[in-house]
Structure 1
Amino acid sequence: MKILDLEHTPFHQLEYRSSGPGGVERRVVLPFHRAWIDAMPAGIQCLVAVSDIQGRELDRNGNRLLGEAVAEELALLQDLGEIPDVDVVLLAGDLFDYPDLHKLGGTGDVTAVWNAFAVTSPAVIGVHGNHDMVEDELAPNAIALDGQVREYAGLRIGGVSGIIGQEDRHHRRGEMTYRKVLQDTLAAKPQILLLHQGPDDPDRNQPGDPSVRDYLENHGSSLVIFGHKHWYQPLHDLGRNQLLNVDHRLVVMSVREP
């Protein structure tokens, strides 16, 4: 599975509120992009990938997490025929912001986001970011991965949650432990690999983790989807892998009609 083209100009966007520096609320826009895939399994026509959507909807009365509003927006775009029916939503983590938006980098419950996407799509498969907690039961069609590979409609999807860091902190692992989980996941040969923390891209001065880059450069052959750090050039090849950064962006992937 390979992305042939990622459209730079968004076809849609969603404005929202987010925590800002110094506790000052800010207005932000989430861009929606189209990407064209060479081929998909027969049971899948459209995938959506997104991560690092840390914010709240504009409606202060509802004040839902941004991900809940995004799920609703996807349903609307489907109803309007703007996008195909979404078969799988791929989440790459960090979906929380405080209700009062008082501080950047809040950690909290994102169950409502997963379950909102589970209403929109037959399957939600993802990994947790270092700011995500799940305090309630996920919908039956929502699967959180951490070192596992699952098959859905002929598509093999693997994932590693969290980031490299102090192991006594939330969703963090030491470098060697993280690398072992990544190694075991890639050994199962996923077509799509979901990470929260991705590699760096020193040639383009794009941030990430050098040890993840080092490992992926020599192992695996997946479409690697990740967030955590924003890339301004989101699509890149590394070894036999293709990298797609979805930090603060949503990508709708389908096969282009002839």
Structure 2
Amino acid sequence: MRITSIQLELIREIPFLNAGRGPGGFYRDSLPVHRGFVDALPDGMSAIIATADLQGRETFESAGGKPLRLLGEVLPAILANEILPNLGLADGRIGVLLAGDFYTVPALDKRGGSGNVTSVWQAFADEFDWVVGVAGNHDLFGDAATRPRFNNPIHFLDYDTVTVDELPIAGLSGIPGNPRRPWRRTEDDFVEALEQLLCDSPAILVMHEGPDAPDFGFRGSPRMRESIESSEPTLIVRGHAHWKEPLATLSNGTQVLNVDARAILLTCQAS
């Protein structure tokens, strides 16, 4: 499965509240929703949704006086009920790729807070046919940064692979860093795990942190890129560091789809 293009025009921008630094510092922001096209999807599938770093909460208007939900809790219903029906897609299964970091503190007064994101994963599973993803460095499940026990159709990955709709999808949670902190491995261990996953030639590799793309000036890990460029080409879905453009191609033909603070709907080109 290769991405053939990403539409320049956004499908929609979804308003949300972004956290500020200190009480009352929050501000209104918007989440861009892109449409991308792939050369093929598995039989019976109509779309794959990819997103990460939904670090915000719904607007006061959306909440209607109730506690503000996480952006990732409200996004699935908007996609399922207001956006996807207008794309003219054939009936088929829809899968979701989550690349981590879905928490924002309730008071919206601190950036980079950590907390429970189980409800976000469940919200996507309630609307779509399967969910495959990894943890970001700010994600907890319950009150711990430990591997969650989800049931089908949710598949959590960390240094392992699952096959859904005949797509082998690998996943590597977290970021390189001090292993005493949540969802971190040393850089050596992270790169070694990445190389082991790439040995099996997955169709898609979902990561939170990921490779850089120096030809485009996009941030990420040079060591990860070097390992990836020494492997068979694949499609990498990553978050953590925002890129101005969502798609870059590495020297070995690997495509890197950056979904930090955006949602991308991948569908086949209409014939």
1:67 to 68, 72, 75: 72
State the Cα distance separating 1:240 from its structure 2 match. 2.8
**CA spacing shift, 1:49–1:86, aligned 2, 3 Å:** farther
Task: State the partner residue of 2:131.
Answer: 124
Q: Does 1:254 align with 2:267?
A: yes
Task: State the partner residue of 1:236.
Answer: 248
Matches within 5 A, 1:195-214: 195-214=207-226
Q: Does 1:29 align with 2:42?
A: no
**Counterpart amino acid of 1:29?**
S
Matches within 5 A, 1:131-210: 131-135=138-142, 138-210=150-222
Task: State the partner residue of 2:111.
Answer: 104
Number of residue pairs the alignment of both structures matches: 258
TM-score, normalised on structure 2? 0.90
**Counterpart amino acid of 2:171?**
G
Which sits farther off after the overlay, 213-222 or 161-170? 213-222
Which portions of structure 1, spanning 4 or more consecutive aligned residues, are displaced by more than 6 angstroms?
none
CA distance in 1, matches of 2:39, 2:117: 33
Q: Does 1:91 align with 2:101?
A: no
Any unmatched runs of 5+ in structure 2? 143-147
SS in 1 for 2:228: helix
SS in 1 for 2:135: coil
State the Cα distance separating 1:156 from its structure 2 match. 1.1
State the Cα distance separating 1:62 from its structure 2 match. 3.7
Task: State the partner residue of 1:48.
Answer: 49
TM-score, normalised on structure 1? 0.95
Of all paired residues, the percent bearing the same amino acid is 36
**CA spacing shift, 1:78–1:18, aligned 2, 3 Å:** closer
SS in 1 for 2:266: strand
State the Cα distance separating 1:81 from its structure 2 match. 3.3
**Counterpart amino acid of 1:89?**
V
State the Cα distance separating 1:147 from its structure 2 match. 1.0
State the Cα distance separating 1:117 from its structure 2 match. 0.2
Q: Is the 1:77–1:83 Cα contact (8 Å) retained in structure 2?
A: no
SS in 2 for 1:198: coil
CA distance in 1, matches of 2:82, 2:93: 10
